[in-house]
């Protein structure tokens, strides 16, 4: 497709479980970002990839959160031992280096 694709669109999981969220960026975009958005707030930065490497992971809240981008395209955000406070919309964005970022529709994560 032409835009950023995120799967699943919705995910409900039990507290303590492990979840993976997937992002397919726009073809050819070298930069990929993950953000988290809570209700009524703006997106909050989590991690930024340039190619395969995490150029900036300073926004990851703790070591339960991890993200990979092994081939410089698709990225997976992994959350271990989920907590109710992890419930939010997780947004992925991609950009050609230095230019505007385009966002996917997000994955709504609910931890019960």
Within 10 A of 34 (CB to CB), how many other CB atoms are there?
A: 27
Decide: 77 and 46 in contact? Cβ < 8 Å: yes
Tell me the chain's radius of gyration from C-alpha atoms: 13
CB of 16 to other proteins, least distance (A): 27
**Does the footprint of other proteins cover residue 25 (CB under 8 A)?**
no
Decide: 65 and 77 in contact? Cβ < 8 Å: yes
* Piece of the chain touching other proteins by CB under 8 A; list 18-26, 38-46, 60-68, 72-80: 38-46
* Piece of the chain touching other proteins by CB under 8 A; list 16-24, 48-56, 63-71, 77-85: 48-56
Nearer to other proteins, 80 or 110 (CB): 110
Q: Which residue has the tokens 């975009």?
A: 29
Read off the tokens for 5. 């694709």
CB of 108 to other proteins, least distance (A): 8
Give the x-and-dash track for 50-89 against other proteins (CB under 8 A): x----xx--x------------------------------
Read off the tokens for 69. 């981008």
- Distance, CA of 38 to chain centre: 14
CB of 60 to other proteins, least distance (A): 12
């Amino acid at each position: 497709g032409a835009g950023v694709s995120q799967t699943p669109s919705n995910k409900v999981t039990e507290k303590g479980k492990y979840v993976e969220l997937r992002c397919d960026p726009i073809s050819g975009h070298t930069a990929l970002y993950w953000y988290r958005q809570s209700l009524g707030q703006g997106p909050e930065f989590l991690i930024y990839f340039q190619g395969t490497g995490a150029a900036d992971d300073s926004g990851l809240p703790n070591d339960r959160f991890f993200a990979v981008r092994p081939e410089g395209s698709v990225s997976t955000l992994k959350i271990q031992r989920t907590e109710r406070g992890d419930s939010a919309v997780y947004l992925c964005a991609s950009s050609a280096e230095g230019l505007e970022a385009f966002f996917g529709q997000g994955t709504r994560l609910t931890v019960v």
